[in-house]
């Protein structure tokens, strides 16, 4: 896998989201948000299937670009072998069943789609990597090492695909935050926070994912989503390859 900067990934996202918005189903009603199922199936030719992927539900999604068998669980937690065909994404069934998990569900789908896209654009050559399974893990997402570039790139591309700049700005206008957000704090600025929540629902993403994206785009100055009382906490910051330099 090539090491891509954030700008490289943004350029890829623009190409694919432009193609998405040109799908024939949007001829009469332009897309105002990115539906990950339509994106995966209609644009990328990928199938999505739902099973329990682990006993503790910590595996949220997985995919592979070549044929390979993986263990999954049915509703009675019986173990089955599912044969991936190189164009299928598996998503944890609990995400589909819980409406409160819509944002996480959509991001997980697009994360796995991103692995497929990056594999198409930058195919790996060594034979030992052809059957690699890409996992999206719940427990490790916030503690992922910056050395795991494949996962960082998939996360970054998923964010840019779900929240392209033009649709983010449209959503800001829709909720009356045309100039962006100065400080995101549910206690200090409840009216702004309420509009922000409507925006997350409108785009079908989690509040945390939206706050990070707005910050990256320079549309949010102070993100106090997780720290509304002002207590300082240590924050782990992941840099991209361009920012971190050679490893």
State pLDDT tens for residues 37-84.
Answer: 999 999 999 999 999 999 999 999 999 989 999 999 999 999 999 999
pLDDT in tens, 148-182: 788 999 999 999 999 999 999 999 999 999 999 99
Rounded mean pLDDT of 24-45?
96
- DSSP line for 84-119: EESSEEEEEHHHHH-GGGHHHHHHHHHHHHHHHHHH
Does position 130 have pLDDT exceeding 60, yes or no? Answer: no
HEC letters along 189-205 = CHHHHHHHHHHHHHHCC
- 228 closest CA partner among 176, 179, 183: 183
Q: How far apart (Å, rounded) are the C-alpha atoms in residues 154 and 152? A: 5
Task: Quote the DSSP letter at residue 12.
Answer: H
pLDDT band for position 211 (cuts 50, 70, 90): very high
Dihedral angle computed from the Cα positions of residues 144, 153, 4 and 159, in that order, rounded to the nearest 10 degrees:
-120
pLDDT digits (tens, 9 = 90+) for 77-125: 999 999 999 999 999 999 999 999 999 999 999 999 999 999 999 886 4
- What is the per-residue pLDDT for 124? 66
Q: How far apart are CA 168 and CA 174, in angstroms?
A: 10
Question: Where on the phi/psi map is residue 151: left (φ > 0), alpha (ψ -120 to 50), or beta?
Answer: alpha
**In terms of pTM, does the model score above 0.75?**
yes
Q: Are 82 and 49 in contact (CB under 8 A)?
A: yes
Q: How confident is the model at residue 2 (pLDDT cuts 50, 70, 90)?
A: low
pLDDT at position 147: 55
When pLDDT is averaged across residues 215-232 and rounded to a whole number, the result is 87
């Amino acid at each position: 896998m090539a090491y891509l900067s954030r700008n490289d990934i943004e350029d890829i996202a623009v190409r694919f989201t432009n193609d998405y918005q040109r799908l024939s189903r949007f001829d009469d009603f332009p897309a105002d948000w990115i539906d990950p199922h339509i994106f995966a199936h209609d644009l990328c030719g990928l199938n999505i299937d739902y099973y329990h992927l682990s006993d503790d539900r910590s595996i949220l999604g997985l995919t592979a670009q070549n044929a390979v068998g993986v263990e999954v669980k049915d509703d009675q937690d019986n173990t089955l072998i599912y044969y991936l065909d190189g164009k299928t994404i598996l998503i944890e069934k609990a995400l589909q069943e819980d409406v409160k998990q819509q944002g996480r569900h959509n991001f997980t789908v697009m994360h796995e789609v991103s692995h497929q896209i990056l594999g198409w654009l930058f195919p790996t050559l060594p034979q030992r990597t052809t059957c690699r399974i890409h996992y999206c893990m719940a427990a490790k997402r916030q503690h992922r090492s910056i050395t795991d570039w494949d996962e960082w790139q998939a996360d970054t591309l998923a964010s840019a695909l779900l929240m392209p700049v033009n649709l983010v700005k449209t959503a800001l206008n829709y909720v009356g935050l045309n100039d962006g957000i100065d400080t995101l704090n549910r206690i200090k600025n409840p009216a702004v926070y309420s509009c922000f929540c409507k925006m997350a629902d409108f785009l079908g993403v989690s509040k945390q994912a939206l706050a990070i994206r707005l910050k990256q785009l320079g549309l949010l100055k102070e993100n106090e989503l997780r720290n509304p009382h002002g207590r300082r906490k240590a924050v782990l910051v992941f840099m991209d390859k361009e920012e971190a330099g050679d490893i």
